[in-house]
């Protein structure tokens, strides 16, 4: 039985759809959602890390699809970017981009989708306070991977000032938006 939002909705709207087709649609749709939000990009002059809509999409995809499908979506997203599709921030792609200063954030997206999906499958995405905690955990994972990898390029103190601190206000807004969207969507489903 599916316990996350997107599979629940798809099962209700298309009950005869084969589960394999459903899973493929959800995984591809999730990866395209993240790719689309990666195109929302604002460069900052003091850091190689841009402001994007990716973190919001990762939280929603992880919670909406669950751990297995959410992680598969992010893996597909990364693979499509690696093979040259313009799916990374601002239309970037390729192995060099992935191994560059922002590659840790991309790896963190995968891990965050796993974690947020696990928490959502346990029902934490259905109420605002618990959804906020689940999404905060996802954000922490993204930053752990991202800032750690960025520190290889910039050193630890500069990685924190260039890859964490400037993004906290925007990520609080993204986290709050995700924390409102998922519980509201569940309320509509009921």
Q: Which residues contact 168 (CB under 8 A, 6 or more apart)?
A: none
Phi, psi of 22 (to 5 degrees): -60, -50
184 versus 74: which is more confidently predicted? 74
| Listed residue (58, 56, 68, 50) closest to 31, CA to CA | 58
Per-residue pLDDT tens digits for 108-143: 999 999 999 999 999 999 999 999 999 999 999 999
Mean pLDDT, the chain, whole residue set: 93
- For the chain, percent of residues with pLDDT exceeding 90: 82
- pLDDT of 149 over the 60 cut: yes
Q: Tell the CATH topology of 5-189.
A: Arp2/3 complex 21 kDa subunit ARPC3 (1.10.1760)
Q: Which residues contact 63 (CB under 8 A, 6 or more apart)?
A: 4, 5, 70, 116, 117, 119, 120, 125, 131, 134, 135, 178, 182
> 13 with 58: CB under 8 angstroms?
no
Structure-token pair, residue 146: 């991202």
Average pLDDT over residues 153-169: 96
Q: Which residues contact 65 (CB under 8 A, 6 or more apart)?
A: 4, 6, 7, 26, 27, 30, 73, 113, 117
- pLDDT of 1 over the 80 cut: no
Structure-token pair, residue 110: 């995968």
- pLDDT of 3 over the 90 cut: no
- pLDDT of 60 over the 80 cut: yes
Residue 7: its pLDDT value, please?
Answer: 79
Q: What angle do CA 175, 67, 171 make, to 5 degrees?
A: 15
Produce one character per residue of 62-76: b if its CB has 16 or more CB atoms within 10 Å, e if not. Answer: bbbbbbbbbbbbbbb
Whole-angstrom CA distances from 96 to 33, 107, 165 are 23, 14, 25
Residue 2: its pLDDT value, please?
Answer: 65
Domain regions of the chain by residue span: 5-189
Per-residue pLDDT tens digits for 167-190: 999 999 999 999 999 888 888 877
> 94 with 82: CB under 8 angstroms?
yes
């Amino acid at each position: 039985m599916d316990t996350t939002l997107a599979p629940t909705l798809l099962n209700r709207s298309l009950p005869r759809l084969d589960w394999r087709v459903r899973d493929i649609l959800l995984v591809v749709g999730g990866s395209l959602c993240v790719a689309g939000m990666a195109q929302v990009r604002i460069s900052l002059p003091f850091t190689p890390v841009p402001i994007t809509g990716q973190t919001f999409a990762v939280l929603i995809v992880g919670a909406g699809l669950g751990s297995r499908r959410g992680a598969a979506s992010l893996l597909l997203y990364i693979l499509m970017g690696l093979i040259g599709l313009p799916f990374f921030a601002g239309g970037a792609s390729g192995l060099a981009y992935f191994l560059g200063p922002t590659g840790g954030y991309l790896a963190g997206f995968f891990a965050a989708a796993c974690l947020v999906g696990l928490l959502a499958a346990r029902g934490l995405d259905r109420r605002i306070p618990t959804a906020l905690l689940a999404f905060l955990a996802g954000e922490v994972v993204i930053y752990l991977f991202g800032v750690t990898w960025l520190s290889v390029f910039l050193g630890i103190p500069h990685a924190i000032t260039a890859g964490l601190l400037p993004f906290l206000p925007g990520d609080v807004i993204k986290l709050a938006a995700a924390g409102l969207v998922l519980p509201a969507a569940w309320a509509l489903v009921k």
